[in-house]
Amino acid sequence: MSLFNNVVWTVAWKELLDLFRDRRTVMLSLLMGPLLFPLLVLGMGSLAESRARVQLESVLDVPVIGAEHAPNLVRYLHTRDIKAIDPPVDAERQLREQAFDVVLRIPPDYAELWRDSRMAPVEILYDSSRQDSRIPVQRVRTALAEYGRQVGSLRMISRGVSPEAAISVLAAPRDVSTPESRRGMMLALLPYLLILSAFLGGAYLVIDITAGERERQSLEPLLATPVSRSAIMSGKILAACLFGMLGLALIVIAFKVSFAVAPPSMQLVKVSGQMMLQLLLVLLPLVLIGTTLLTLIAASVKSVKEAQSYMSVLMLLPIIPTIVLLVNPVKNQLWQFAVPFLGQNQMLLKIIRGEWVAPVEWAVYLGAGFGLGLVLWLIAARLYHREKLAISA
């Protein structure tokens, strides 16, 4: 065992020394994520916040069809910074072409129904497939609902009836979410970026030290040495894991610094030292899984080009849980923490939202993650014992 460990660390040290001699590659691999990911997350958050603030605070121009039928309503909307403008000829086509966010249509019989104290309909036209129209539509809906409640209350008071008589149950919503969890909702992209970095962070090194050395015919002398091939492979995997964890540590530190120096409105998460360690612990099994899987692939292909062809497929794997949860949101269940990528996504979201992770969830997650890494290691070790591995393609 002592000899095995010595070989593992010797091979890992040798691979890391060779890697760091290529300074340009190391700089790109280690600094690209820490520089781009915080800019991407903060930039998108700032853009979304700025757009939402503009839509909420600016005067909203709304085409109103039949505005002459409801002058009081039009004046009320104006007090809510909703300005009625002349309607287009074809309102529905203009909405689909994104010329307007929302259009109001007031029927000709509105005035008669209103004078008779009857319910007068107002039609709200919008395109629900457009995400950017959500805030304008909500502003119009809220203003119409407020106007309807005020008019209804005045009608009941004029008849000597208390407005409360029409309210049999008063719903009083109480939001129990924490500020951390609400801010965590705005960081839905962060878990995917961390998962992708952990899964493929050491891809270049893993492919180069197996498929690359095989093409350069430098793998055969190494495998010909009187040491265990499993120890040689483990040393290469260890080197890739250390390099991947170094890149992740820099990314987490970059997020901590970015959120600390960001404007108060963009300080979405307070990244403490404990949170940083938890994030790295969550990502550690995925680094092992990605490294062993790439080692398996690199040992089974004939060239670096063939190994790199798998990257496009591997990059899609981490996004599958994000898409599934977006289409079909589910509550946290214990079995989810044993599913690759889904478990990482759930764990990262809980940590970012400041929620408590139960010890049994940690046990299931770490056990499943390291167990899958061990299975992939055993398969890769079998491939490393093939004689044709040392033969250049």
Do 173 and 191 share a domain, yes or no?
Answer: no
The answer to whether residue 39 is domain-embedded is: yes
Q: Which one of 16-25, 101-110, 199-208 scores highest in mean pLDDT?
A: 101-110
Mean of per-residue pLDDT scores for the chain: 81
Among 178, 210, 237, the domain-final residue is 178
Confidence band of 280 (pLDDT split at 50, 70, 90): very high
The pLDDT of 338-356, averaged and rounded, is 86
Q: What CATH code is carried by the domain that includes residue 156? A: 3.40.1710.10
Q: Which residues form the domain of 165?
A: 60-178
Confidence band of 282 (pLDDT split at 50, 70, 90): very high
User: Which residues make beta-bridge pairs with 125?
Assistant: 103
| Cα separation values, 140 from 66, 100, 119, 124, Å | 16, 13, 18, 8
* Distance between CA atoms of residues 235 and 158, nearest Å: 86
Do 228 and 361 share a domain, yes or no?
Answer: yes
* Distance between CA atoms of residues 94 and 230, nearest Å: 66
- Do residues 101 and 126 touch, judged by C-beta distance below 8 A? yes
The pLDDT of 161-169, averaged and rounded, is 72
Q: Determine the 3-state secondary structure of 65 from DSSP.
A: strand
Total count of domains within the chain: 2
Do 147 and 223 share a domain, yes or no?
Answer: no
Residue in the structure block whose two tokens are 């690209």 = 32
The answer to whether residue 283 is domain-embedded is: yes
Do 133 and 98 share a domain, yes or no?
Answer: yes
Per-residue pLDDT, 185:
55
* Distance between CA atoms of residues 111 and 322, nearest Å: 50
Which one is predicted more confidently, 358 or 25?
Answer: 358
The answer to whether residue 50 is domain-embedded is: no
Do 94 and 73 share a domain, yes or no?
Answer: yes
Do 202 and 145 share a domain, yes or no?
Answer: no
* Distance between CA atoms of residues 209 and 16, nearest Å: 10
Q: How many CA atoms lie within 13 A of 237 on its CB side?
A: 30
With vertex at residue 7, the alpha carbon angle to CA 5 and CA 13, rounded to the nearest 5 degrees, is 100
* Residue 96, phi-psi category: left (phi > 0), alpha (psi -120 to 50), beta (remainder): alpha
For residue range 23-77, list pLDDT tens digits in order: 887 787 777 777 777 777 776 666 666 666 666 677 888 888 888 888 888 898 8
Which one is predicted more confidently, 356 or 178?
Answer: 356
The answer to whether residue 53 is domain-embedded is: no
The answer to whether residue 269 is domain-embedded is: yes
pLDDT exceeds cutoff 90 at 153: no
* Distance between CA atoms of residues 120 and 70, nearest Å: 10
pLDDT exceeds cutoff 90 at 364: yes
Confidence band of 368 (pLDDT split at 50, 70, 90): very high
Per-residue pLDDT, 284:
93
What burial letters (b/e) apply to 321-348, b meaning 16+ CB within 10 Å?
bbeebeeeeeeeeeebbeebbbbbbbbb
Per-residue pLDDT, 281:
93
Q: DSSP state, 211? A: I
Do 39 and 97 share a domain, yes or no?
Answer: no
Do 204 and 307 share a domain, yes or no?
Answer: yes
Per-residue 3-state assignment (H helix, E strand, C coil) for 150-172: HHHHHHHHHCCCCHHHHCCCCCC
The pLDDT of 305-329, averaged and rounded, is 77
The answer to whether residue 37 is domain-embedded is: yes
The pLDDT of 328-339, averaged and rounded, is 80
For residue range 233-251, list pLDDT tens digits in order: 888 889 889 988 998 998 8
Among 158, 178, 198, the domain-final residue is 178
Do 273 and 338 share a domain, yes or no?
Answer: yes
Least confident of 68-72, 125-129, 330-334: 330-334
The answer to whether residue 79 is domain-embedded is: yes
Per-residue pLDDT, 371:
94
Least confident of 52-56, 68-72, 270-274, 353-357: 52-56
Q: How many CA atoms lie within 13 A of 242 on its CB side?
A: 17
Do 375 and 268 share a domain, yes or no?
Answer: yes
Which one is predicted more confidently, 389 or 29?
Answer: 29
Among 151, 178, 205, the domain-final residue is 178
The answer to whether residue 52 is domain-embedded is: no
Per-residue pLDDT, 217:
76
Q: Which one of 57-61, 325-329, 341-345 scores highest in mean pLDDT?
A: 341-345
Do 200 and 348 share a domain, yes or no?
Answer: yes
* Distance between CA atoms of residues 82 and 86, nearest Å: 13
Do 16 and 103 share a domain, yes or no?
Answer: no
Confidence band of 182 (pLDDT split at 50, 70, 90): low
- Do residues 51 and 131 touch, judged by C-beta distance below 8 A? no
